[in-house]
Structure 1
Amino acid sequence: MRCLLEITFSSARKIEKRSVGGRKAEKDEFPWTVAVSGPIVCSGALISDHHVLTSAHCAIKRIYGVPCEEATLVSSYEKLPFEDIVVISGMGEGCSVDTKDGCKVFNVKDMFIHPKHNPCTGDYDIALLELSSSMNSQQGLPICMPKEDEDIPTSRNRMTSSGFGYNPEHPGERYLEALNLTMEGIERTRARIITKSRGKSICTVRLYWYGLVKCID
């Protein structure tokens, strides 16, 4: 099984323009990539057989009556009810997230939002979902993660992002897609990847139409 060294996510359409434009993934090519389907469709990474890492804004409901400048982090959003979110396995062939035909669907029994997540700024946009049942090897495989002291790619290395972003070539049908990219504008400090820019992502790909990918903080 191949490993990705970054985890990428897609979200609502205004963000999805950053996470689409690739090719349709082959059958079982990215067994760790799942869709998080709720009020919006996001992507996530399976990090154990029953835990999914995704974006916090995919698992919350923004409270718009609270102005950002007056909001505490907790008062500006509330968690979505568990029954409003399902996780869809990206394994198999022909699974359309929008219709769920041919898809393996899992319920969520618990979720954890990063305590510093700020929906106004998008900072710490990370959430952990716990599934009500575990995925077997035919349904999904956890992502391979680098060890603490393992070497990481430099900006010269090509990487791959996978997800369920909106694609104008087949609107209304979201399939697992992949996009090649490179790491840019980063520094390596004590074996950690950090950004030199706004602190929101660790990798980008040049914008060719719908080609810019947003990565995890």
Structure 2
Amino acid sequence: MWHYLVLLLGAVVCSQNSNNSPLSGTITSPNYPKLYPNFNESTWDINVPEGYHVSLNFSVFDIEPSENCSCGFVKVMADGKELGHFCGPMNSSAHPGNRQFVSQGNQMTIHFQSNFSEEMDGGIIPYKGFQAFYQAIVVICEDPPVLTNGQYKFLTAPGNLEYKSVIQYQCNSPYYYMVTPNGSDTFSCSAQRDWRDEHGGDKIPRCRPVCGKPENPVTSFGRILHGKKAEPGNFPWQVYVSRYGTAGGALIGEQWVLTAAQVLPDNVEKQDLNDVLVYMGSLNMKNLMEMDTYPVEAFYMHPNFNRNNYDNDIALIRLKNPVVMNQNVSPICLPSPEDEDDIYQKDRVGYVSGYGKTENHKVANELHYVSVPVASRQACKTYLNKKRPAIRYPSDEDKYLFSRNMFCAGFPEGSLNKGDSCSGDSGGAYTSQNRQDTWVATGLVSWGFSCGQGYGFYTKVSNYVDWIKSYVGEDA
């Protein structure tokens, strides 16, 4: 049974039924309905059960009028503040009228005071006082906060927003996973009319994109001659970047695209961001061009990028709006330190996808991919030295640098296997599946000589994870 407390010097009539319905009661001034006495002070403290508000309104109000209610007043207080200070007849500015007073919490106080009357010197004054009715009404919360890329379900009666109703948040699986401030996905309607978890926290969970888990991953790790058309869900991180040409990129977070610095202009301040067009979500180039672009908010080139030799060929594009993940759009993971001795090892197979030129030197109308193995650093150096005699100008001697920020992959020159990235693929990701079966961005397509005629050179992404996270934070 509900317990409640009413402290008074006036009269109170309370009612309560047997099924624990909200409490109600009537509060009246002393002697009501007879005239109230002079020099009287009365206080009523109303406490209803937690999970209820107190609602109060005056059915009769007849207090002596006076300037600033100096000769008598009724004061209503709740939640540590005064809700009103009243006296006088109906239609006066100090009269409570038909107003309903509602507490935020489960307590309310009514204070009555009659001072020395100007009309009756110390005797009974000709005013009846007041009659007020109060009722405990159940707390109703607002609709629960909306979870972006997720939803909630009621664990109690569906749609019931009353006190102690319970909801559970869920993220849109399999494209998002939940991050909770306090480790709880369950929230209840509190007595304060908001939704709180079991620890009293009011911050709802967040749905973050699942990275490196394509819905339809490539399963063949054999060497594929020239390339193959991608199927839906193979490379959902694939981004097409257009700025006076064709380039690639990889989605690494809701608002972040990883690409090569060479595909972006040098002078960021003078560059019109509208010139950088970002597309994703379709395997077909024609369909892709008919889709809305993802507006660019900013881009950041590595400060040590050398356009002459492609060292530090890496950049970030920040999108204005978060991307909504689905089968055809989801991010690739960044490599972890534990991946270093795995994904960059000789003969470790990775995949490159893009809309660049095919072996027929035509721009692909469909997203293609090719599997290429990592080559040893010695093999890369030998190949590069072999190509140097063909360098036409002495000034180009330093152009073809093979730094520690790069690796090469593909097949030796003259091999029957000619799988390779090509013109138009720059900035696209070289991806590998690590020991945890998660796909990571091992490299970025950077530079090479003739397409399909030897090794291609890639930016080594693991060298830049700290730099990337300095911009994207936990969003990648």
Give the secondary structure class of the aligned counterpart of 2:334.
coil
Query: What aligned pairs does 1:61-140 form with structure 2 within 5 A after superposition?
Result: 77-79=266-268, 80-89=271-280, 91-96=281-286, 100-101=289-290, 103-138=291-326, 140=329
- The aligned residue for residue 451 of structure 2 is 210
- What secondary structure, in the 3-state scheme, does the structure 2 residue paired with 1:214 have? strand
Q: Deviations over 1:160-208 (max 9, x none)?
A: 1112212254835543211111111249xxxxxxx86712632310253
Provide the residue aligned with 1:48 in structure 2: 253
> 2 CA distance for matches of 1:216 and 1:21?
22
Q: Are 2:283 and 2:367, in contact at CA under 8 Å, matched by a contact in 1?
A: no
Is this contact kept in 2: 1:35–1:88, CA < 8 A?
yes
Partner of 1:156: 347
Larger gyration radius, structure 1 or structure 2: 2
Identity %: 24
Choose between structure 1 and 2: higher helix proportion: 2
Which gives a bigger RCO, structure 1 or 2 (Cα 8 Å, sep 6+)? 1
- Please list, as runs of the form range in 1=range in 2, the aligned pairs for 1:7-22 lying within 5 A after superposition: 21-22=226-227
Paired with 1:85 and 1:23, the residues of 2 have a C-alpha distance of 28
Partner of 1:141: 330
Equivalent pair of 1:166/1:174 in contact (CA under 8 Å) = no
**Distance in 1 separating the partners of 2:262 and 2:249:** 12
Cα distance, 1:156 vs. partner? 2.8
Structure 1 match to 2:191: none
Deviates further, 204-213 or 124-133: 204-213
**Letter of the structure 2 residue corresponding to residue 118 of structure 1:** N
Q: Is the 8 A contact 1:114 1:124 kept in 2?
A: yes
Higher strand share: 2
Distance 1:33 1:93, change over 3 A: closer
In the superposition, the TM-score normalised over structure 1's length comes to: 0.69
Q: Contact 1:21–1:210 (CA<8 Å) still a contact in 2?
A: no
